[in-house]
Amino acid sequence: MKVETSLFTVHKRYALRISRGTRAQSENLWLRLSHDGVEGWGEASSFSTGGKRQEAAQLKRQIEAITPKLSHCSPWDHQQIEQLMRSEQLPSGARTAIDLALHDWMGKKLGVPLWKLWGLDCDRIPPVSVTIGISSPEAAQERLRAWQETVAVEVIKIKLGSPEGIVADQAMFSAVEDVAPPEARIYVDANGGWNLADAIAMIGWLRERGVEYVEQPLAEGEEELMGELKARGTLPIFADESCWSLTDIPKLADKVNGINIKLMKCGGLTEARRMVETAKACGLQVMFGCYSDSVLLNSAGAQLAPLADYLDLDSHLNLKDDPFAGAQLEDCRLVPRDLPGLGVVRRDSAVE
Ligand SMILES: [Mg+2]
């Protein structure tokens, strides 16, 4: 099989600030795998989390380094290719781009969407949340209004853990609450920006305001303390930065109530499917999340969306120049298309 990669830049309509920093644009990688007259597509986005960073340009070089070995494989050889990627110590982002392209190729070769191949029920897809980054109270209100102009907002994810402290967090949260639709559900993601005392205070404060759960209240590495927060039972606790792949899940089972699975962290749909089942076997809920992903990556996530309890695949909705078209919003649900593979096409050739 032939593998080609190229880089593209996507720009955000609204720069997203979280506890660790701000992103206004992202360089992403587009991977095309061709074999037997069929082309499968994958994507990797640049991201930084929990002190780890993966850049698309570096992932491109790492993929190019194993392309000669991949050329001897068939896209049906998922197990062999996964083994090769692990033995070559490819980072998760590079594995994701290849794994997505293998799945897209398979679906296209068989002429079926992946969700259909896996027998999933798209009526079970939960509503997608829209993210409001750390900002002034006024800017947070403006951001919510802008979301409401493009999306029927059912679920709001508010980023807290401000470097200015929990008084700033509370002011921003209250500002959003003031203008949010009364029926809107709210989650909070602190991106590890609190210490234990702040987390205890904030989780109690957020519970009084009807928040459903809190994601990554403490930094990666502080999982034992997250277990203390879980034991208090104030609000469900989800792990994001603390949960990268399958082997993290059993260790987290008694410390959190759920995990945020991201394709870029885990290495693609193969690992994500294993993680969903393992999390459920451990009694954990499952959310799917994203970074600065285009609709290509989020359409891959949407293939598994019927298995999620919560869906946070909104990054492409904040892009000015997404080169792709794929999964579409229907009543706030990100529904994959009834097209083979990932159901993604170039936007310039898309028939909306
Ligand atoms: Mg998160």
Tens digit of pLDDT for each residue in 26-42?
999 999 999 999 999 99
Q: Whole-angstrom Cα distance, residue 159 to residue 22? A: 12
Q: Whole-angstrom Cα distance, residue 345 to residue 284? A: 34
Q: Using one digit for the tens of pLDDT, what is the confidence trace for 239-291?
A: 999 999 999 999 999 999 999 999 999 999 999 999 999 999 999 999 999 99
Q: Whole-angstrom Cα distance, residue 343 to residue 273? A: 18
Q: What residue numbers bound the domain in which 217 lies? A: 116-349
Q: End of a domain among 111, 126, 155?
A: 111
Residue 321: how many CB atoms within 10 A of its CB?
A: 13
Specify whether 76 is located in the same domain as 144: no
Whole-number Å distance, alpha carbon 161 to ligand 1 midpoint, is 11
Specify whether 105 is located in the same domain as 148: no
What local confidence, expressed as pLDDT, does residue 192 receive?
96
With a cut of 60, say whether residue 305 has pLDDT above it.
yes
Q: Whole-angstrom Cα distance, residue 75 to residue 107? A: 11
What are 193's two structure tokens?
A: 């920006």
Specify whether 262 is located in the same domain as 174: yes
Rounded to the nearest integer, the mean pLDDT of the chain is 96
- pTM here is 0.95
Specify whether 155 is located in the same domain as 229: yes
Whole-number Å distance, alpha carbon 238 to ligand 1 midpoint, is 9
Give the mean pLDDT of 140-157. 95
Specify whether 303 is located in the same domain as 202: yes
Whole-number Å distance, alpha carbon 156 to ligand 1 midpoint, is 13
With a cut of 90, say whether residue 16 has pLDDT above it.
no
Specify whether 186 is located in the same domain as 306: yes
149: three-class secondary structure by DSSP: helix
Q: Whole-angstrom Cα distance, residue 44 to residue 28? A: 6
What are 206's two structure tokens?
A: 């957020």
Whole-number Å distance, alpha carbon 191 to ligand 1 midpoint, is 6
> Residue 15: which residues within 8 A CB-CB, separation 6 or more?
22, 23, 24, 133
Burial-class residue 122 by CB neighbours within 10 Å (0-12, 13-18, 19+).
Answer: middle
Sign of CA dihedral 42, 46, 48, 54: positive
Specify whether 18 is located in the same domain as 148: no
Whole-number Å distance, alpha carbon 20 to ligand 1 midpoint, is 11
CA distances from 245 to 121, 285, 289 (A): 25, 15, 13
CB 93 within 8 A of CB 264: yes
Whole-number Å distance, alpha carbon 16 to ligand 1 midpoint, is 13
Specify whether 147 is located in the same domain as 206: yes
Whole-number Å distance, alpha carbon 352 to ligand 1 midpoint, is 31
Whole-number Å distance, alpha carbon 214 to ligand 1 midpoint, is 9
> Residue 58: which residues within 8 A CB-CB, separation 6 or more?
none
What local confidence, expressed as pLDDT, does residue 51 receive?
75
Q: Using one digit for the tens of pLDDT, what is the confidence trace for 163-195?
A: 999 999 999 999 999 999 999 999 999 999 999
Q: End of a domain among 111, 141, 162?
A: 111
CA torsion, ordered 223, 224, 230, 232, to nearest 10 deg = -150
What CATH number is given to the structural domain containing 294? 3.20.20.120
Q: What's the structural domain count of the chain?
A: 2
> Residue 338: which residues within 8 A CB-CB, separation 6 or more?
113, 116
What value does the CA radius of gyration of the chain take, rounded to a whole number of Å? 20
CB 231 within 8 A of CB 257: no
Whole-number Å distance, alpha carbon 266 to ligand 1 midpoint, is 14
Whole-number Å distance, alpha carbon 49 to ligand 1 midpoint, is 9
Whole-number Å distance, alpha carbon 259 to ligand 1 midpoint, is 10
With a cut of 50, say whether residue 352 has pLDDT above it.
no
| Half-sphere CA count of 229, side-chain side, radius 13 A | 31
**Beta-strand pair 237-239/214-215:** parallel
E strands, 165-236, in order = 185-189, 214-215
> Residue 142: which residues within 8 A CB-CB, separation 6 or more?
none
Residue whose pair of structure tokens reads 């990932």 in the numeric block: 342
What local confidence, expressed as pLDDT, does residue 29 receive?
98
What CATH number is given to the structural domain containing 50? 3.30.390.10
Specify whether 276 is located in the same domain as 318: yes
pLDDT band at 350 (very low <50, low <70, confident <90, very high): low
Sheet holding 2-18, edge to edge: 2-18, 21-35, 38-45
Of 47, 63, 64, residue with least CA distance to 97: 63
Specify whether 97 is located in the same domain as 144: no
Q: End of a domain among 111, 132, 152?
A: 111
Whole-number Å distance, alpha carbon 241 to ligand 1 midpoint, is 7
Specify whether 155 is located in the same domain as 251: yes
Q: Using one digit for the tens of pLDDT, what is the confidence trace for 102-142?
A: 999 999 999 999 999 999 999 999 999 999 999 999 999 99
Specify whether 146 is located in the same domain as 47: no
Q: Residues of 205-223 as b/e, b for ≥16 C-beta within 10 angstroms?
A: ebeeeebebbbbbbbbebb
